[in-house]
Structure 1
Amino acid sequence: MIVALLNQKGGVGKTTLALHLADQWARQGKRITLIDADPQGSALDWSEQRARRCFDRLFGVIGLARDTLHREAPELARHSDHVVIDGPPRVAASLRSALLAADLALIPALPSPFDGWASAEMLALIAEARVFRPALRARFVLNRCPARTVIARETAESLAEHDPPALAARIGQRIIFAEAAQTGQLVFERDDGSLATREIATLASEIERLAP
């Protein structure tokens, strides 16, 4: 399965979710390739930081920030159980290419009524991609949700009736994500019993149930 995390809005946590989904599946014994399709190269920077600190290599990270992803990602998928694409931050040819490569497009969104509606252009691109890839699935994933807030609940309820809908799994706003990133680690390595670790596991499991 090829999962692309995409949103033209920056700061929604695409790279964090991409890295942690790749990690979750890799720890289950799956062969995982993460494609860094963001010209900023945040996932590649994280991978290089791990190498400098001599941390174990958990999964492959390659940079492909170009508009040929729809041709290259399927070839990589033949040698992987899952390919995770950390998408570019703006609408461009490379974002369209990532959509054409994907089996599932995940749209990270913050728990705000404005964030969901700010994705209108993203949704138009998904509709465009479905002309060529009718089986393309898409879901919102609520990220950085403050605990027990009305706005998070209302955003989830509004997206439940949306097309595409939101996944049931949500990721909380937890400082452990930032602490792990600063050291080239992942939350499992910092605290394998943390709420963040359990939330990522729940998210990964729900995504796998959507596999074609």
Structure 2
Amino acid sequence: MTRAFSPRRNRAALRALIRRLGRNRRGVAAVEFAMILPAMLAIYFGIVETGQAIMIDRKVTQLTRSLVDLSSQVSTIPTTEVGNIFDAAQTVMMPYTSVAPKMSIHHIVIDSAGVAKVCWSEQRNSTKLARGTTVALPADLRMPNTSIMMAQASYDFTPVVGWIIKGGAITIGGSPIYMRPRLGKAGGSASIEQVERSGVAMCPGFG
């Protein structure tokens, strides 16, 4: 015997089904987790990458300080010693050694008029400054007839998760650190105390 069609009965069954589905919480947690997982991963990897960048920034500062410190405590730097200075200073970057840092050392001489110019410059993975190039030093460092060592270093940090921090490598560092020669020798036309680079005429006399 076929049951007669009853709209009232069908509506009651539909309401009962809706109530039953409303009470059933199975799978809700999985759906919620799937919704918040991308945000959680982004936050986690963002914290990790930021921590890495902060540590590298500290290492680069230590590297720059080591460069200027090592180069300022001698009276003459021979050619073979230049490589040793870069090698020794670079060790402070461990364990961040997958990328070679950019390093440069510049010896600046300030003439009687307070104009600062490059006497000699050395680099590794970076760019030299040409002899005689005028350098903008902070006002308190431009003491006439003196010299100063200037070092710079930077590191190209590429985040592991590129879709969180876009744009490829991020250059960390690059700010100069200065230090006066501690065992300099007088030389050049004005007998200014400076760090001599073997094979390079002392300054002034930037030709």
Give the structure with the higher percent strand. Answer: 2
Give the structure with the higher percent helix. Answer: 1
TM-score w.r.t. the length of structure 2 is 0.25
Between Structure 1 and Structure 2, whose CA radius of gyration is higher? 2
TM-score w.r.t. the length of structure 1 is 0.24
